[in-house]
Amino acid sequence: MQHLIRTADFSKEEILELFNDAREFLDMKTRDVLKGKIIVTLFFENSTRTRSAFEIAAKRLGAEIVSLDVGTSSRSKGETIFDTVANINAMKPDAIIMRHSDCGLPGTLVNHVDCPIINAGDGKHAHPTQALLDLFTIVEHFDGQTDGKKVAIVGDVRTSRVAGSNRKLLPRFGMEVCFVAPECFQHESSDHKQHNNISEIIDEVDVVMSLRTQLERHNEIYFQSLNDYAKDYCITKDTFGDRNILLLHPGPVNRNVDISDEMLVDPRNKVLEQVTNGVVVRMAILKKLIKQ
Ligand code: NCD
């Protein structure tokens, strides 16, 4: 049995096979690949895209989804997360999809369940399905020619689990990842070049991945207002000029803080294509992990 806790759980070959399936699923037809299977989602943090993309992916494959409403679950009666998961597992679902604010929690549960666990985001650690859909979007955009492409991840790289997963995944496909962030958001890792200002590298990059500032994970106030941050880090028409750069963002976008209104309707922006790809890549992941 395989789980998806971090992108390293899948080999490069497995990822390319996933992408072949994802490409087929782009017709968005409903199939019966997972007919009769039941998938439980446990989201202890807010979600718009990830949760609905998983639900649509499951339904497109013919599976049923049970979404635990954590607000009304027994967690509020004092049950531990381990007991909640043990109880869900005792109902014999075919997979559990989980989002939680504790880094590493989904990984610690894998030895206590009888079905695949899929990490839908654990604190600031990892968000493997987001990184896989980002990679798929990049692969499709460059017709598979990802070798040597330069990707700038811009914004709160220190606290972003999307950056956490992408900085490890994209180099496995020949890409060079650098970070653009103010000092307070820079990453502790020295594996990647870090820049204070996007103008330093804008002429060299093929992809810009903008990130949301993770205010809910900060213990201190770094900026008086997000507008102060936006002055230097918002991606605008002026930032890109007429350069041919692919613009990505995992969502939710803070308009005119992360990306300007104008760039959100610019054809170089593939944010909504990422969302569509989020469904088909998750379909491929569910098929791989559940259909044995
Ligand atoms: C991200 C998340 O929750 O990690 N969103 C997503 O899943 N698409 C990024 C964010 O919240 O900024």
Residue whose CB lies within 8 A of the most ligand 1 atoms, among 45, 99, 125, 162, for a mutation test: 162
> What integer pLDDT is reported at residue 117 of this predicted model?
98
Lookup result for tokens 């220190």:
158
Nearest CA to ligand 1 atom 7: 50
Q: What pLDDT shows up at residue 7?
A: 98
For residue 248 and ligand 1, the question of a CB distance below 6 A is answered with: no
User: Kindly report the CA angle at 72 between 278 and 254, in degrees rounded to 5?
Assistant: 40
Pairing mode of beta strands 207-210, 246-248? parallel
Residue 135 backbone phi and psi in degrees, to 5: -60, -45
What would the mean pLDDT of 17-42 be, rounded to a whole number?
Answer: 98
Q: Is any ligand 1 atom within 6 A of the Cβ of residue 120?
A: no
User: Of 119-123, 189-193, 248-252, which gets the smallest average pLDDT?
Assistant: 189-193
Is the shortest distance between the CB of 168 and ligand 1 below 6 Å?
A: no
Question: Distance of alpha carbon 214 from its chain centroid, rounded?
Answer: 14
For residue 60, give the DSSP letter. Answer: H
- Model confidence band, residue 142 (pLDDT cutoffs 50, 70, 90): very high
Domain 7-126+275-290 has CATH 3.90.1150.10: no
What number does CATH give the domain 128-270? 3.40.50.1370
Q: Does the pLDDT at position 208 exceed 70? A: yes
Q: Which has the closest alpha carbon to 281: 35, 30, 50?
A: 50
Match 């075919």 to its residue by tokens.
Answer: 94
Average pLDDT, the chain: 96
Question: pLDDT tier at 1 (50, 70, 90 boundaries)?
Answer: very high
Of 101, 130, 209, the residue with max ligand 1 atoms within 8 A of its CB, to mutate for a pocket test, comes to 130
Who's near 136: CB < 8 A, 6+ residues apart? Answer: 19, 22, 277, 280, 281
Residue 270 CA to chain centroid, in angstroms? 15
Write 83-89 long-range contacts (CB < 8 A, 24+): 84/42, 85/42, 85/109, 85/112, 85/113, 86/112, 88/40, 88/42, 89/113, 89/114, 89/115
Angle at 96 between CA 44 and CA 55, to 5 degrees: 80
pLDDT digits (tens, 9 = 90+) for 85-102: 999 999 999 999 999 999
Q: By the 8 A CB rule, do 15 and 170 touch?
A: no
Cβ within 8 Å of residue 92, ≥6 positions away: 114, 115
Our answer on whether the CB atom of 164 is closer than 6 Å to any ligand 1 atom is no
pLDDT at 220: 87
C-alpha–C-alpha distance, residues 268 and 105, integer Å = 36
For the entire predicted model, the pTM comes to 0.97
* 95 exposure class (CB count in 10 Å sphere: 0-12, 13-18, 19+): buried
Confirm or reject: Cβ of 49 under 6 Å from ligand 1.
yes
Verify whether ligand 1 is closer than 6 Å to residue 217 (CB atom). Answer: no
Same fold, 7-126+275-290 and 128-270: yes
User: What is the percent of the chain with per-residue pLDDT over 90, rounded to a whole number?
Assistant: 89
The answer, yes or no, to whether residue 72 has pLDDT greater than 80, is no
Percent above pLDDT 70 for the chain: 98
Domain extents in the chain:
7-126+275-290, 128-270
Conformation bin of residue 249: beta by default, left when phi > 0, alpha when psi is -120 to 50: beta
> For the segment 271-282, what is each residue's pLDDT rounded down to a tens digit?
999 999 999 999
Confidence of residue 224 (pLDDT cuts 50, 70, 90): confident
The rounded distance, in Å, linking the Cα atoms of 172 and 176 is 9
Q: What is the per-residue pLDDT for 69?
A: 78
Ligand 1 contact via 106 beta carbon (within 6 Å): no
Question: Which residues in 173-282 belong to E strands, given as ranges?
Answer: 176-180, 193-195, 207-210, 246-248
Task: Identify whether the C-beta of residue 53 lies closer than 8 Å to the C-beta of residue 65.
Answer: no
**Mean pLDDT, rounded, for 217-236:** 91
pLDDT top residue among 43 and 76: 43
* Residue 76 DSSP class: G
Q: Are 115 and 94 in contact (CB under 8 A)?
A: yes
